[in-house]
Amino acid sequence: MNDTPQGFDTLAIHAGAAPDPATGARQIPIYQTTAYVFRDADHAAKLFNLQEIGYIYSRLTNPTVSALAARVCALEGGAGAIGCSSGHAAQIMALFPLMGPGKNIVASSRLYGGTITQFSQTIKRFGWSAKFVDTDDLGAVAKACDRNTRAIFCETIANPGGYVTDIPALARIADKKGIPLIVDNTTATPYLCRPIEMGATLVVHSATKYLTGNGTVTGGIVVDSGKFNWSASDKFPSLSQPEPAYHGLTFHPTLGGMAFTFHSIAIGLRDLGMTMNPQGAHYTLMGIETLGLRMQRHVENAVKVAQWLEQDPRVEFVTYAGLKSNPYNKRAKKIVPKGAGALFTFAMKGGYETCVKLIDNVKLFSHVANLGDTRSLIIHSASTTHRQLTEEQQVKAGAAPNVVRLSIGIEDVADIIADLDQAMTAALA
H helix count then E strand count, the chain: 18, 12
Average pLDDT value for residue range 254-277 = 96
pLDDT band at residue 126 under the 50/70/90 scheme: very high
Residues in contact with 60: Cβ distance below 8 Å, sequence separation at least 6, in sequence order: 265, 266, 269, 270, 275
Q: What is the pTM of this model?
A: 0.94
Sequence spans of domains, the chain: 8-287, 291-428
Question: In the predicted model, is pLDDT for residue 72 greater than 80?
Answer: yes
Q: What is the CATH code of the structural domain delimited by 291-428?
A: 3.90.1150.10
Question: In the predicted model, is pLDDT for residue 171 greater than 90?
Answer: yes
Question: In the predicted model, is pLDDT for residue 392 greater than 60?
Answer: yes
Average pLDDT taken over every residue of the chain: 94
Regarding predicted confidence, which is higher, 429 or 324? 324
Angle at 138 between CA 100 and CA 343, to 5 degrees: 85
The pLDDT tens digits for 190-210 are 999 999 999 999 999 999 999
Average pLDDT value for residue range 364-375 = 94
Q: What is the pLDDT of residue 2?
A: 55
CATH of 8-287, one of 3.30.365.10, 3.40.640.10, 3.30.460.80, 3.30.70.100: 3.40.640.10
Question: In the predicted model, is pLDDT for residue 400 greater than 90?
Answer: no
Question: In the predicted model, is pLDDT for residue 264 greater than 80?
Answer: yes
**Residue 345 to residues 12, 99, 276, 296, Cα–Cα distance (Å):** 29, 34, 31, 20
Q: What is the pLDDT of residue 354?
A: 92
